[in-house]
């Protein structure tokens, strides 16, 4: 049985990296100089590293900046089996022939896009080999398998994110990699700002948002004592969205905040108590 | 699903599986026969508790199952409490104690009602709840009555006042919240004695004081945690009609303890009768609380003054201004910072910051005397310390000398610490066997989980991409093409390389403060860790440290990297005992030196401890020790060593972030939980 060649080719095209161009402004509330620093780095072709706990707005910030700079965005969520080929590209065999398929990094370099490698420490160590030449004055991507040496256009920009709260020693970033980036520290915003963000993103009134933020700040004190990390802004927004959809705050917070954070019975019950204490 | 009773043979089989009875040539036939008569629900509870007990020790599981069979019918719904009492007794005094507790349960604990709730059942939940609330860290303990001395909250052993278990749990929470509020909202800021002395019956006066404070504090809680306040309101029902006015007055946001005292005076003049009874209103002991509060304020004022003294000294050294020793403190959002006119805000060291926060909580402001830096004499070592040091110095020559960092001079003290490396004395091998038996289930599950983590260098066949060509796939593809079928594009072999090249050094605190539970927990944790790491194949070493002044820093060799985890090593683990003090810097330097010689990609130094660095004499205690340890950890970091700390010091969060970095420590709130948690911490740390 021979599959029609045309459809096989179409399948391969469907695998190509999508370049995301954002039409409308993604909501982002700046809390410091990060927008200015990012713009300056983009203007000078410098790569940027975003550090911070989970759910504090790193990914949203990149989306916002891509929109602001009017550049397409390629996001790669790194995992522990992500190889160099997954980033650069590989030959696929289609019927009788081999077809080259650009990986997301190559696609971003060709298109002059922002390439965002989320949670870079999760990726396998050999991926740093392809990142290094892109992050210094060479600004180039060697595509070994094709014998190609792609020089990045000025619009190409590499952004990585990294959560310093991870405890594994095997997931540390080497200084030789770290020192290539302009770094921006992200943290949970100030209570007032965070309440505004939760109200806007979650579609709840200011009072509910304030209570959610209060709850968030209480859970963050349990870090290291029952919790690996407290509730991020993202979890608070999820809870707000459930409330906006008509759920009772207690149910919404239990489902969106307490359950995702903890499995252990004592911690889970304590979180339930905190939710009931705040609402 | 209709729940039918389990028959004797089914029960026997389940018990066999739970308790591994076949291995010990015991038969569950007799307990099973007794259990057969019970309802299914109770049968399941008995099996559940037997399983839980068996995880601690097979013998305990057997004891519980056999006793439960005879007693379950009489215990009824108290079965759970009965089993918990047995487990608790085992933790404290072994199998014999458990037997006594289980057989004597009915006699000692005379029939609490079905819906009563024990303190032990809510302790974990409440302690986490309190930790998340603002304010100074508080200890939670069981006592005769509910009261607080402003540092520990005592709650009754058992509550049986509400109509159901949920109500009793909620009552526990309400009591804990009110006690927390007493420490947070200044219930002991004024001395109530002058008012109490006017009461003919002091107890009655105290009762009214507690009641008015409960009214005021409930309103304080309502501002920050409205849900909690509502729960308390629901629990207590309405205030008595005669007290509505007082309640309204105390609910004003600016009401203080002075208003409560004023309400008391009004009540006394109106001829106070007996205090209306409210189950959630706790007892109060203003004398004890105020004594502790005064001592704390003195201590913290001194801490703050010393910190300021150092800042002033640094300032003077930097050629800065002289003369004005007062530093204005800015307090915003509880973050206390020191305004340095020369530069930006100078952040206080962590212990001084914690002290300043605590002072703010007690007094509402930083007392002016705390803002005067202490005189230059404050840093003089205690008289006679030198002589003691000389006396403590041994006659043998130390194995090594180490420099120590003196942050006050911002310089090294050369060859300051005399280090002796000695082989740890062997302990009782039966102890290790007993631990391994008791934790047999845990060890089995740890081994299983860790073996899965090991990740051999396994080739993955038929991949889209890889380092080698997969010949089998190649042949298949060729055959497919010949026959006209579409060949698979998966033609490569991909090798997942093992990236575990890790050496771990465990540095075990053997200071005197670990005596008892902590020491047991440390030793048990080490046994479990060894089992886990043996399964993983990481290279590891274990050393203990303790000491007595700088001339006597001892390092106890328990397991070197080259040593195997054999009977001799196990006996040395059993032999770990509480000794002297915790001079940490020199231990970190010596052990990181040993670790640095390991030829692995990753090196990890894990400290098991129960508190901050400390040594005989005043000098090493406090900031000196912390700064020296921090410096030693930084040096280790420069050698490519990562550090992590597991501590059971509940104040650990005050200084550990500064020593180890924000994510590189775990605080275990209960020493008993350390063995259970340690393997998981290690797994997360190296996953």
B653 touching chain A per CB within 8 A: yes
- Structural domain range at position B31: 8-108
Residue in chain A lying closest to B652 (CA): A224
CB contact under 8 A, B666 and A224: yes
End of a domain among B259, B284, B309?
B284
> What's the angle, vertex CA B18, arms to CA B16 and CA B21, rounded to 5?
40
Number of CB atoms found within 10 A of residue A137's CB: 7
CB contact under 8 A, A225 and B644: no
Number of CB atoms found within 10 A of residue B98's CB: 26
CA distance A172 to A31: 27
Q: Categorize the per-residue pLDDT at B274 as very low, low, confident or very high, splitting at 50, 70 and 90.
A: confident
Question: B251 with B301, same domain?
Answer: no
The tokens 């003294």 sit on which residue? B309
Question: B563 with B679, same domain?
Answer: yes
Question: B125 with B245, same domain?
Answer: yes
Contacts of B128 in chain A (CB under 8 A): 222, 225-226, 266-267, 270
Kindly state whether residue B403 falls inside one of the protein's structural domains: no
In this complex, the residue of B227, B486, B687 whose CB is nearest that of residue A2 is B486
Share of chain B above pLDDT 70, in %: 84
Closest to A58 measured CA to CA, from A84, A85, A38: A38
End of a domain among B80, B108, B136?
B108
In this complex, the residue of A94, A222, A276 whose CB is nearest that of residue B131 is A222
CA distance A255 to A271: 11
Question: B328 with B271, same domain?
Answer: no
Contacts of A83 in chain B (CB under 8 A): 465
Q: How many domains does chain B have?
A: 5
- Strand A73-77 versus strand B492-495 pairing type: unpaired
CB contact under 8 A, A169 and B685: yes
Q: What is the CATH number of the domain that holds B505?
A: 3.40.50.410
User: How close is the nearest chain B Cα to the Cα of A66, in Å?
Assistant: 31
Closest to B168 measured CA to CA, from B134, B122, B205, B132: B122
Residue B240's Cα: distance from chain center in Å?
Answer: 42
Longest dimension (CA), chain A: 66
Kindly state whether residue B414 falls inside one of the protein's structural domains: no
Q: Categorize the per-residue pLDDT at B388 as very low, low, confident or very high, splitting at 50, 70 and 90.
A: very low
Contacts of B664 in chain A (CB under 8 A): 167
In this complex, the residue of A2, A124, A169 whose CB is nearest that of residue B604 is A169
Q: Categorize the per-residue pLDDT at A5 as very low, low, confident or very high, splitting at 50, 70 and 90.
A: low
Contacts of A3 in chain B (CB under 8 A): 486
pLDDT digits (tens, 9 = 90+) for B503-527: 889 999 888 877 777 888 888 888 8
Q: What is the mean pLDDT of chain B?
A: 79
**Residue B312 confidence (pLDDT) above 70:** no
pLDDT digits (tens, 9 = 90+) for B576-601: 888 888 888 899 999 999 998 888 88
Q: B353 near B400, Cβ under 8 Å?
A: no
CB contact under 8 A, B684 and A222: no
CB contact under 8 A, A225 and B664: no
Per domain, the residue ranges of chain A are: 5-185, 191-278
**Residue B636 confidence (pLDDT) above 60:** yes
CB contact under 8 A, B132 and A266: no
CB contact under 8 A, B464 and A90: yes
**Residue B116 confidence (pLDDT) above 60:** yes
DSSP code for B3: -
The tokens 């200015």 sit on which residue? A36
Question: B487 with B505, same domain?
Answer: no
Mutate to test the interface with A, among B129, B497, B639 (most CBs of A within 10 A): B129
The whole-number pLDDT of residue B398 equals 78
Distances (CA, A) of B504 to B479, B601, B603, B642: 51, 11, 6, 10
User: How close is the nearest chain A Cα to the Cα of B675, in Å?
Assistant: 15
Question: B552 with B659, same domain?
Answer: yes
Contacts of A275 in chain B (CB under 8 A): 227
pLDDT digits (tens, 9 = 90+) for B171-203: 999 999 999 999 888 888 888 888 888 888 888
Closest to B80 measured CA to CA, from B123, B4, B16, B71: B71
CB contact under 8 A, B502 and A96: no
Mean pLDDT is lowest, of B50-54, B109-113, B330-334, B651-655, for B330-334
**Residue B381 confidence (pLDDT) above 60:** no
Question: B321 with B181, same domain?
Answer: no
Fold exhibited by the domain A5-185 = Rossmann fold (3.40.50)
CB contact under 8 A, A1 and B484: yes
Sign of CA dihedral B54, B59, B65, B71: negative
Question: Hey, which of B1-15, B74-88, B536-550 has the most confident mean pLDDT?
Answer: B536-550
Kindly state whether residue B415 falls inside one of the protein's structural domains: no
* The pair of three-digit structure tokens given for residue A79, joined into one six-digit string: 């995992």
Question: B294 with B279, same domain?
Answer: no
User: How close is the nearest chain A Cα to the Cα of B529, in Å?
Assistant: 17
- Please, where are the H alpha helices in A44-179? 58-69, 84-88, 104-111, 128-135, 175-178
Residue B390's Cα: distance from chain center in Å?
Answer: 37
Residue in chain A lying closest to B482 (CA): A96
Question: B571 with B662, same domain?
Answer: yes
Question: B484 with B582, same domain?
Answer: no
Question: B125 with B88, same domain?
Answer: no
Kindly state whether residue B391 falls inside one of the protein's structural domains: no
Residue B277's contacts (CB-CB under 8 Å, 6 or more residues apart) are: none
The whole-number pLDDT of residue B331 equals 39
Q: Sort residue A115 into left (φ over 0), alpha (ψ -120 to 50) or beta.
A: beta
Over the Cα atoms of chain B, what is R_g?
Answer: 31
pLDDT digits (tens, 9 = 90+) for A73-101: 999 998 877 888 889 988 887 777 788 88
pTM for the whole thing? 0.62
Question: B75 with B215, same domain?
Answer: no
Kindly state whether residue B136 falls inside one of the protein's structural domains: yes
Kindly state whether residue B370 falls inside one of the protein's structural domains: yes
Kindly state whether residue B654 falls inside one of the protein's structural domains: yes
User: How close is the nearest chain B Cα to the Cα of A73, in Å?
Assistant: 26
pLDDT digits (tens, 9 = 90+) for A23-39: 888 899 888 899 999 99
Kindly state whether residue B485 falls inside one of the protein's structural domains: yes
Residue B111's contacts (CB-CB under 8 Å, 6 or more residues apart) are: B78
Q: B150 near B188, Cβ under 8 Å?
A: yes
């Amino acid at each position: 049985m021979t599959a029609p060649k045309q459809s096989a080719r179409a399948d391969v095209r469907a695998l190509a990296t999508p370049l995301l161009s954002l039409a409308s402004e993604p909501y982002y509330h700046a809390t410091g100089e990060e927008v200015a620093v990012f713009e300056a780095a983009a203007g000078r072709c410098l790569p940027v590293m975003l550090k911070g706990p989970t759910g504090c707005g790193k990914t949203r910030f990149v989306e916002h900046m891509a929109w602001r700079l009017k550049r397409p965005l390629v996001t790669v969520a790194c995992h522990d089996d992500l190889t160099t080929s997954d980033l650069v590209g590989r030959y696929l065999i289609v019927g009788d022939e081999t077809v080259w398929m650009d990986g997301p990094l190559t696609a971003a370099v060709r298109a002059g896009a922002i390439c965002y490698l989320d949670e870079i420490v999760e990726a396998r160590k050999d991926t740093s080999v392809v990142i290094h030449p892109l992050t210094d004055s060479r600004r180039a991507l060697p595509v070994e398998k094709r014998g190609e040496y792609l020089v990045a256009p000025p619009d190409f920009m590499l952004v990585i994110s990294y959560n310093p709260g991870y405890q594994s020693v095997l997931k540390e970033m080497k200084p030789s990699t770290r020192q290539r980036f302009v770094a921006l520290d992200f943290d949970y915003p100030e209570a007032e700002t965070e309440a505004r963000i939760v109200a806007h993103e979650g579609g709840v009134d200011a009072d509910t948002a304030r209570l959610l933020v209060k709850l968030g700040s209480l859970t963050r004190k349990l870090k290291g004592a029952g919790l690996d990390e407290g509730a991020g802004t993202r979890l608070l927004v999820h809870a707000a969205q459930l409330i906006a959809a008509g759920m009772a705050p207690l149910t919404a917070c239990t489902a969106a905040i307490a359950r995702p954070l903890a499995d252990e019975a004592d911690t889970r019950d304590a979180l339930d108590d905190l939710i009931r204490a705040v609402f | 699903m209709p729940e039918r009773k389990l028959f004797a043979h089914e029960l026997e089989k389940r018990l066999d599986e739970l308790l591994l009875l076949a291995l010990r040539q015991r038969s569950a036939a007799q307990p099973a026969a007794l259990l057969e008569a019970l309802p299914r629900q109770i049968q399941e509870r008995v099996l559940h508790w037997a399983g839980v007990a068996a995880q601690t020790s097979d013998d305990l599981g057997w004891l519980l199952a056999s006793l439960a069979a005879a007693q379950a019918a009489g215990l009824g719904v108290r079965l759970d409490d009965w089993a918990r009492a047995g487990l608790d007794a085992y933790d404290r005094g072994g199998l014999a104690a458990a037997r006594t507790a289980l057989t004597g349960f009915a006699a000692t604990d005379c029939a609490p009602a079905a819906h009563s709730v024990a303190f032990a059942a809510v302790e974990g939940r409440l302690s986490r709840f309190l930790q998340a609330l603002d304010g100074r860290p508080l200890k939670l303990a069981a006592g005769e009555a509910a009261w607080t001395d402003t540092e520990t909250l005592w709650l009754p052993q058992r509550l049986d006042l509400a109509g159901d278990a949920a109500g009793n749990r909620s009552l526990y929470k309400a009591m804990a919240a009110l006690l927390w509020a007493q420490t947070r909202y200044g219930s002991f800021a004024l001395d109530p004695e002058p008012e109490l002395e006017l009461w003919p019956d002091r107890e009655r006066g105290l009762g009214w004081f507690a009641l008015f404070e409960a009214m005021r504090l409930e309103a304080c809680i309502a501002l920050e945690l409205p849900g909690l306040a509502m729960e308390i309101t629901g629990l207590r029902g309405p205030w008595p009609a005669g007290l509505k006015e007082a309640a309204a007055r105390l609910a004003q946001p600016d009401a203080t303890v002075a208003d409560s005292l004023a309400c008391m005076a009004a009540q006394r003049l109106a001829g106070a009768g007996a205090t209306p009874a409210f189950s959630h209103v706790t007892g109060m002991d203003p004398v004890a609380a105020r004594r502790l509060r005064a001592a704390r304020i003195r201590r913290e004022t001194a801490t703050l003054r010393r910190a300021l003294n150092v800042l002033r000294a640094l300032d003077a050294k930097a050629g800065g201004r002289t003369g004005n020793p007062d530093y204005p403190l800015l307090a915003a959002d509880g973050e206390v910072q020191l305004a340095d006119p020369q530069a930006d805000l100078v952040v206080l060291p962590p212990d001084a910051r914690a002290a300043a926060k605590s002072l703010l909580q007690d007094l509402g402001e930083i007392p002016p005397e705390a803002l005067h830096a202490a005189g230059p004499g404050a840093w003089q070592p205690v008289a006679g310390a030198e002589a003691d040091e000389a006396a403590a110095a041994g006659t043998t020559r130390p194995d090594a000398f180490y420099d120590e960092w003196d942050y006050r001079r911002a310089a090294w003290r050369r060859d300051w610490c005399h280090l002796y490396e000695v082989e740890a004395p062997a302990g009782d091998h039966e102890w290790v066997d007993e631990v391994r038996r008791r934790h047999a289930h845990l060890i089995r599950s740890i081994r299983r989980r860790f073996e899965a983590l090991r990740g051999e260098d396994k080739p993955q066949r038929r991949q889209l991409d890889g380092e080698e060509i997969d010949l089998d796939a190649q042949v298949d593809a060729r055959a497919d093409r010949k026959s006209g079928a579409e060949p698979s594009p998966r033609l490569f072999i991909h090798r997942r390389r093992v990236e575990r090249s890790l050496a771990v050094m465990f540095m075990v605190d053997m200071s005197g403060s670990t005596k008892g539970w902590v020491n047991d927990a440390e030793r048990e944790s080490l046994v479990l860790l060894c089992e886990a790491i043996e399964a993983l194949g990481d290279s590891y070493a274990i050393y203990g440290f303790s000491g007595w002044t700088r001339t006597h820093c001892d390092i106890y060799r328990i397991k070197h990297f080259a040593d195997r985890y054999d009977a001799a090593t196990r006996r040395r683990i059993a032999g770990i005992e509480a000794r002297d003090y915790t001079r940490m810097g020199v231990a970190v330097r010596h052990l990181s030196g040993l670790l640095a010689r390991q030829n692995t990609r990753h090196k990890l130094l894990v400290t098991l401890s129960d508190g901050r660095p400390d040594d005989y004499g005043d000098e090493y205690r406090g900031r000196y020790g912390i700064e020296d340890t921090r410096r030693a950890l930084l040096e280790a970091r420069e050698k490519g060593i990562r550090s992590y700390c597991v501590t059971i010091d509940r104040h650990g969060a005050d200084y550990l972030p500064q020593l180890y970095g924000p994510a590189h420590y775990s605080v275990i709130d209960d020493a008993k939980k350390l063995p259970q948690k340690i393997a998981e911490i290690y797994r997360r740390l190296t996953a």
